[in-house]
Amino acid sequence: MRQNGFTIWFTGLSGAGKSTISDRLVYKLSERGATRIEVLDGDVVRTNLSEGLGFSREDRDKNILRIGFVCELLSRNGVIAIAAAISPYREIRDKVRSLVGDFVEVYVKASMDTLVRRDVKGLYKKALAGELKNFTGVSDPYEPPLHPEVVLETDSEDSETSVNKLLSALERLGYLSRESLSLEKEDDEKMAGPLRSEARTRTDNRYSRDSKPAADLTPVPPHGGVLVNKFLAESGQNAVLDRIESFKSLTLSEREWSDIELIATGAYSPLTGFVGELDYRSIIENGRLSNGLAWTIPILLLVEGEEAKSLAASNELILRDNDGKKLALLHLTGIYKVDKEELTKRVWQTTDRNHPGVKDLFDEGNFALAGDIDVVRLGKCSNFREFRLTPLETRTYFKAKGWKTIAAFQTRNPVHRAHEYLQKVALESVDGLFLHPLVGETKGDDIPAAVRMECYMALLKNYYPADRVLLSVMPAAMRYAGPKEAIHHAIIRQNYGCTHFIVGRDHAGVGNYYGTYDAQKIFDGYDSGELRILPLKFEHTFYCRRCDGMASEKTCPHSQDERIILSGSKVRDRLRDGDELPKEFSRPEVVEILRQHYSHARVSSTHTGWI
């Protein structure tokens, strides 16, 4: 039976809980079998629908009508559309109701005292003091709905109670059955190939802060034996929010939030926060934590000297992003100075500021803040949300599939024929492949993550067995630390539940800073059992015309003239110039996606002087 579409329209003041409840609702609907759900919240709307609009009544109405138009399109095509917008004016909400038809209005209600307490940016206080004009609910009106289908009182209800109340109302109104939804899997889901319905029945670990002994889920235990989880339960979140004004705060970059996400989900197990000086020294000198566990890259939170002085007397700090959507608590246990010349020489094996990883490090402060973290909220990850699986979720998936051996493949590039060859050779001897591209910050000339994801999905759809591959994204930023980062990436994949890790030529390298196979040799410096994930070491691979197939130095006797080898820079140059790539080098579907990307970039450059 085809899924029937409808719109759930959350309205309420900023801070009432619309986004929190909509996030949890998506998870609950997915548990019931819903496969076609789209959320239109502030970030998505601001980026794609509301650009150029201001805060006048006319512009606000125009914004809501645009959201309503998209909801109507989604709903009539079988999608559950969830809109989380303040939408302050009753008349325009009623207009959207008549436009959409199947429309469930949900009033998310909270008192002003609660809204002020939850507001980490202090905007309500400024508005109440007359410092902010046109602030909805204070200096600009909010008109509560007169007859909403559901009222959620977030003053007195936790998010789980609110979501269950909403689900009951959807059942009562006939939008949901009382057991589960029987849904047709559409072509867009098939595009995801390996990300089948098992991934949608995954365990959600964001509602408890307990670490999980995950060894029972896959044959390989997490690094250190325990899968760390640093998300606060709702009671803990509220306790932090109640005291929010008593903490000093620090605004972090997206790169730093990538590290926090990886700590919180357990991808960096056994780390529970930013490393202290004892662990820092041991990592850079010995490639191990102070307790002897293998670890090659110190996870640091760096600040400038003046900021370090101002924070020295604090025991706890609030960590936030620019918008206040991401929030964590740092239990500050120490501050120490970092010798960046020594650090880069030991970890990056160079102090050259032209190295992108070294440059990034020198752009940050010189003092490291140490301590455990507790995450209050990570905000909504709008990028690749369906593919952003946590270590607990991938371990649950692998167990459901019955996979005993899993090979992980790390990449920040499109997958060409040489990479495909390595992956399929690995698949001959393991149960499953975990394609795990990095989607955090990379160099400016790297292919954007969105373009790469399109390439991966096209490749998996056409050339891989759907039931033997899982595609997920890794939110880390690239450090370009070559051999040290190869160990780092392997440990992360062990935490995700993998038993093997594919290591090709110059893993995580850049330029000519590292030897071709240094990233493989570094594994020999660790004794058997120190790492529970095994490296699969591959030679440089290529297409040989004489062999008429993929080969490597180990299997091909022919000269370089017979081999089709293109460097990343040559590939980018050809694509920028509109030249063809040989079919022996890359699949035609991948080439077409890349060609379109570079074609758009070329058009843009005629206006911006980019080339």
The catalytic site residues sit at 87
Helix (H, G, I), strand (E, B) or coil at 20: helix
Q: Report the C-alpha gap between 426 and 431 in whole angstroms.
A: 9
Q: Report the C-alpha gap between 484 and 347 in whole angstroms.
A: 6
* Residue 489: closest CA among 433, 430, 408, 563: 408
CA distances for 136 relative to 311, 330, 465, angstroms: 34, 32, 52
* Residue 311: closest CA among 274, 282, 358, 283: 274
* Residue 5: closest CA among 202, 190, 181, 196: 181
522: Cβ contacts below 8 Å, ≥ 6 apart = 483, 484, 486, 487
* Residue 326: closest CA among 386, 384, 261, 388: 261
CA distances for 202 relative to 179, 199, 351, angstroms: 18, 5, 44
Q: Say what the alpha-carbon torsion angle 266, 269, 275, 279 is, to the nearest 10 degrees.
A: 180
Largest CA distance in the chain: 79
> Peptide bond preceding 148: is omega within 30 degrees of 0, i.e. cis?
no
**DSSP codes, 226-288:** SB---BPPHHHHHHHHHTGGGSEEEE--HHHHHHHHHHHHTTTTT--EE--HHHHHHHHHHSB
Q: H/E/C letters for each residue in 534-552? A: EEEECCCEEEECCCCEEEE
CA distances for 284 relative to 263, 297, 435, angstroms: 19, 7, 29
Exposed e or buried b for every residue in 539-555, given b needs 16+ CB within 10 A? bebbbbeeeeebbbeee
Pairing of strands 273-274, 367-377: antiparallel
Q: Report the C-alpha gap between 328 and 376 in whole angstroms.
A: 5
* Residue 274: closest CA among 284, 260, 288, 294: 260
Specify the length of the chain in residues: 611
* Residue 328: closest CA among 290, 289, 372: 372
78: Cβ contacts below 8 Å, ≥ 6 apart = 2, 3, 4, 5, 36, 186
Please say whether the beta carbons of 477 and 357 come within 8 A. Answer: no
